[in-house]
Amino acid sequence: MSMLSDNSVVLIIPVYNGEEYLLRTCEELETYFVERRYLKEIIFVDDGSTDNTHIALKNSVPAVLASRVRVLHYKKNRGKGYAIMHALSTIDDAVSFFGFTDVEIPYGLSSFEEALFKLFESKDIDVVIGNRKHKDQTQVQYSWYRQFCTRFFRLLLPKPIRAISDTQSGLKVFKGDVGQKLFSLVRTHRWVFDIELLLAVVRGGFSFYEMPVSLKSSCLSRTGGVSLFRHGPRILYDMIRIYLYDRKSIYNSK
């Protein structure tokens, strides 16, 4: 812990209509990070929410963490990928590590810290990817519909990243310079930005580690997420764009 404290770490939390989670999330952040001085900054990005997320963020941030919390906001919903890239455009290039997770903190903050230590302790790992589909995972994590959508979605994956078990996990952590380079190659902003990100990892020859994670019980079998009917056409359009970009070798940053 003390050696990690010599580094600067940023945690990015995109939020879209997350008002109901923010008080509990901020309490969890306070409990976990108040003594962890390696955490330089927590950046909440309000991605054009239509509920009271922006007000809730102002009211929920604990005073003890106020100096290390920043809230970004814009009016139009642009997508999770855009929110993360917007946050990255505002951080210091000297940041040692950064990562992102969802507003519910679905995999717990201990998983974020475990990913940091993997990166810190290994010169051979550039990116840590949360993997919900590991062999020790016995819980049913989502509804049958979301599981069906996930299986269907995997049929669309570009061949170079099909070996990655869980491309869409909401927890990913990066060495700072590597992550900035990877996100500079991302062109899509919504449901498939992770695909571009991981293509850039593989095509660029960066190393990654799939770290087992499990959802909190409060997040199990939650409805919502991607709808084939509402989101399918945009997903298909963006996937075609990714295939075309890959043919042009824009993800090859070697």
Position 99 in a domain: yes
Position 252 in a domain: no
Number of domains in the chain: 1
Q: What pLDDT sits at residue 205?
A: 97
Q: What is the percent of the chain where pLDDT is above 70?
A: 88
pLDDT-based confidence at residue 25 (cuts at 50, 70, 90): very high
Query: Is the per-residue pLDDT at 139 higher than 60?
Result: no
Position 73 in a domain: yes
CATH number at residue 182: 3.90.550.10
Position 93 in a domain: yes
Position 189 in a domain: yes
Average of pLDDT values for 214-240? 77
The CA distances from residue 34 to 1, 72, 102, 165, 242, in Å, are 14, 22, 20, 34, 41
Q: What pLDDT sits at residue 190?
A: 94
Residues 6 or more apart in contact with residue 74 via CB below 8 angstroms? 46, 47, 48, 86
pTM to 2 decimal places: 0.92
Give all strands of the β-sheet with 97-100 in edge-to-edge order: 69-74, 39-47, 9-15, 97-100, 172-175, 127-131, 208-212
Average of pLDDT values for 106-124? 96
Q: What pLDDT sits at residue 156?
A: 86
Position 254 in a domain: no
Position 88 in a domain: yes
Position 171 in a domain: yes
What is the extent of the structural domain holding 146? 4-247
Amino acid at 195: I
Q: In the chain, what is the greatest distance between 2 CA atoms, to the nearest angstrom?
A: 49
